[in-house]
Amino acid sequence: MFYRIYRVASRNIVREGRQALLPILTIGAGVTLIFVTQVFSDYLRQQAAQVAGLFGPTASSDTIFESSRWISVIVLAIGAIETIIVMTRNVFRRTKEIGIMKTVGIKSGIISFIVVMETFLYGVLGGAAGLVGGLVVVLLLAASQLSLEPVLVFLPAAPSAGIYAFGLAVASAVVAGLYPSYRALRLSVLEAVSHNV
Amino acid sequence: MSRAADGHQLVMVDNVSKIYHVGDTFVNALLKASLTVKKGEFVVLLGPSGSGKSTLLHLIGGLDRPTRGKVTVDGVEFTDKPESVLSKLRHDKIGFVFQSYNLIAGLTAIENVELPMIFDPVPQSEARKRAKGLLELVGLGGRLDHRPSQLSGGEQQRVAIARALMMTPSIVIADEPTANIDGATAASLLDLMADLNRKEKVTFIMASHDQRVVAYSTRVVKMADGVIQDDGQAGEPRPSA
């Protein structure tokens, strides 16, 4: 059952084509930022301390460092909001299709689960794209003269940073799927099957 | 013994009314309708638009609930039951054929036919084999991988008929299935349904405003203004088509 739901959800994403790219890329951008921030956390703290010194006693290194983290989370949140918008629009656009599925006796719970599975896959795809982007950014930054540190210094932090960023992406995408999933659940079969966009 | 109490009845509609609220007004779509259908019948609900045919089909098909009265299909009385019971009823016992075909555009003909079985604990190869057999039965054996947009109206309706038969339903409900297709194609579709009724013993309830469908039925129920005005006798011999 789980595998069949996965197949239908992945097929739906493929059918979306370019429309699916926006949430995936935005989630990916958020993941990249979070990953980079995590991997370079020690270095960023040091840099933040120097920057804070320039601004005098009103700015602390922690404040500046936390700000960089918040920016990452906000980008990821924008990705999640885009996922909500895309999926809510998809549920509306697929109203008739959902009505047909309900008419032939496919349970509303399964249809809702398909929607959540789609957003989960957005999270997975966005997370994977973001990690690839993050690794590229980390390697480029570490290899440059910016850090004054060899690449290997930063790599031990990569696995935990990757798990953290990827997990956050998937979790936010699944949460983003709950509202459109609820809408799919609540659709009346007769209204849905009579729906014409 | 009343007909409704007869154990051989497949469908029992008992004093059913359906009232819709439109703004501050009430619309009586169906008024105190009673109808029984036996296994193997080909019943045509005949009447003009707004006569309550579709409403009655929706209630029999578990797509909607009556305001008053009871509906029983193959022993399942579902008037006050939750959506999950109606969903199971539609899945196990009822096949639907709509005027607008209602196929999923992104799926091929065979995938559309498989749709009712897609989440059932049945091997996919078995579902595919059955769907293929049904498409061959309706004359579309060479069109398995065509999408709805690549099929004519008549062919799409044949796919819809094959999908309706996928779960071997107790009854197939057809709401104006020939309204969107030309006369010759409509006649071949009606021939197909009459054949399925005769040879495969598929029970049909069809709504139509077209007098020509009468020739294919075993019984005609005339409706007007939400009221059953004339219920033909069950088991009448089919007139020659």
- Tell whether A106 is within 8 A of chain B (Cβ): yes
Decide: helix, strand or coil at residue B196: helix
Considering only CB atoms, which chain A residues are within 8 Å of B102?
A: 96, 99-100, 103, 193
A185 to chain B, any CB pair closer than 8 A? The answer is: no
Query: Does residue B3 belong to any structural domain of this protein?
Result: no
Domain membership flag for residue B87: yes
Residues of B with CB under 8 A from a CB of A: 58, 63-64, 83-84, 86-92, 94, 96, 98, 102-104, 106, 115-116, 118-119, 121, 163, 166-167
Q: Name, in order, each residue with C-beta under 8 angstroms of B236's C-beta and a sequence gap of 6 or more.
A: B218, B219
State pTM to two decimals: 0.83
Q: What is the DSSP letter of B221?
A: E
Give pLDDT, residue B17: 94
For B227, phi and psi rounded to 5 degrees? -125, 140
**Chain B residues with beta carbon closer than 8 angstroms to that of A190:** 58, 63-64
Task: Kindly state whether residue B216 falls inside one of the protein's structural domains.
Answer: yes
pLDDT for residue B90 is more than 90: yes
What are the 10-residue block averages of pLDDT along chain A, 197 residues in total? 89 85 87 83 68 60 68 77 81 88 93 92 93 88 63 71 88 88 88 78
Name the strand (E) or helix (H) holding B17. strand B9-22
Provide φ and ψ at B186, rounded to 5°.
-60, -45
> How is residue A163 written in tokens?
């798990």
Whether residues B64 and A190 touch (CB distance < 8 A) is answered with yes
Residue B240 has pLDDT above 70, yes or no: no
B48: left (phi over 0), alpha (psi -120 to 50) or beta: beta
- pLDDT per position as a tens digit, B23-54: 888 888 999 999 999 999 999 999 998 899 99
Domain contains B201: yes
Contacts with A117 from chain B: Cβ below 8 Å: none
| Domain around B219 | 40-58+81-231
Q: Which residue has the tokens 């009823």?
A: B89
Q: What is the DSSP letter of B170?
A: S
| pLDDT at residue A47, as a whole number | 67
Task: Collapse the DSSP code of B207 into the 3-class scheme (helix H, G, I; strand E, B; otherwise coil) and give the result.
Answer: strand
Taking each helix axis from N to C end, the angle separating A95-103 and A108-143, rounded to the nearest 10 degrees, works out to 130
Beta bridge partners of B38: B9
Rounded to a whole number of angstroms, the distance from the CA of B93 to the nearest CA of chain A is: 10
Strand arrangement of the beta sheet that strand B76-77 belongs to:
B25-38, B9-22, B68-73, B76-77
3-state SS record for chain A: CHHHHHHHHHHHHHHHHHHHHHHHHHHHHHHHHHHHHHHCHHHHHHHHHHHHHHCHHHCCHHHHHHHHHHHHHHHHHHHHHHHHHHHHHHHHHCHHHHHHHHHCCCCHHHHHHHHHHHHHHHHHHHHHHHHHHHHHHHHHHHHCCCCCCCHHHHHHHHHHHHHHHHHHHHHHHHHHHHHHHHHHHHCCHHHHHCCCC
Give SS3 for B89: helix
Asked if A102 and B87 come within 8 Å (Cβ–Cβ), the reply is yes
Q: How confident is the model at residue B122 (pLDDT cuts 50, 70, 90)?
A: very high
Query: Which residue type occupies B224?
Result: A
pLDDT in tens, B50-86: 899 999 999 999 999 999 999 999 988 988 889 999 9
Q: Note whether residue B63 is domain-resident.
A: no
Query: Are the Cβ atoms of A102 and B163 closer than 8 angstroms?
Result: no
pLDDT tens across B184-196, in order? Answer: 888 888 998 898 8
Contact between A23 and A126 (Cβ < 8 Å): yes
The structure tokens listed for A38 are 């995590």
Are the beta carbons of B115 and A97 separated by less than 8 Å? Answer: no
Q: What is the CATH number of the domain that holds B223?
A: 3.40.50.300
Nearest residue in A to B61, CA atom: A103
Is B21 within a domain? no
CA distances B197 to A120, B159, B237, Å, are 45, 17, 13
SS3 label, residue B131: helix
Which of A4, A90, A103, A106 has the highest number of chain B CBs within 10 A, making it the mutation to test binding with B? Answer: A103
Q: Which of B100, B63, B112 is nearest to B178 (CA)?
A: B100
Residue of A nearest to B111 (CA): A8
Whether the CB-CB separation of B8 and B39 falls below 8 Å is answered with: yes
Q: Which two tokens stand for residue A181?
A: 């999933």
**List of chain A residues whose C-beta atoms are within 8 Å of the C-beta of residue B83:** 108, 189
Angle between helix B83-93 and helix A108-143 axes, rounded to 10 deg: 100
Please count the structural domains in chain B: 1
Closest-CA residue of chain A to B169: A104
Residues of B in contact with A189 (CB under 8 A): 63, 83, 86
Residue contact B115–A110, C-beta within 8 A: no
- Across the range B229-234, mean pLDDT stands at 72
ipTM reported for the complex, 2 dp:
0.88
pLDDT of residue A62: 66
Nearest CA distance, A11 vs chain B (angstrom):
9
Tokens 């429309």 label which residue? A19
Mean pLDDT of B134-160: 93
pLDDT band, residue B241 (cuts 50/70/90)? very low
In a domain, B179, yes or no: yes
Residue B69 lies in a domain: no
Nearest to A1 by CA among A100, A103, A107: A107
